[in-house]
Amino acid sequence: MQEIGESNSPVQPLDETEQQTIMRIEEAEELIEQNRRLIERSREILASAPELAAVAGKDARHKGAARRRS
């Protein structure tokens, strides 16, 4: 009786084209994950942009007032 997963043909080693295809798939998966992290970080930065703009505006007003006083 043949078990599940067994076959009558021996396992053939991957040829060069198949190896390159697997490498490209792995590289693509890494790039997709890297892009996902970058998008997530960009969204975090954009979400905090109003807060950053408010802080920058306060700093600019303080610097402008200090210049006018001198």
CA gap 45, 3 in Å, rounded: 55
Residue with more model confidence, 70 or 12: 12
pLDDT digits 0-9 by tens, 8-50: 666 677 799 999 999 999 999 999 999 999 999 999 998 888 8
Q: What pLDDT shows up at residue 62?
A: 64
Structural domains in the chain (count):
1
Asked whether residue 29 is domain-assigned, the answer is yes
Structure tokens belonging to residue 55:
């802080």
- Helices (H), ranges, the chain: 16-47, 49-69
Is residue 22 included in any domain, yes or no? yes
Q: Is residue 12 part of a domain?
A: no
Return the higher-pLDDT residue of 4 and 12: 12
Report the pLDDT value the prediction gives residue 20, as an integer from 0 to 100. 94
At 69 the three-state DSSP class reads: helix
**Domain span holding position 28:** 17-69
Per-residue pLDDT at 70: 59
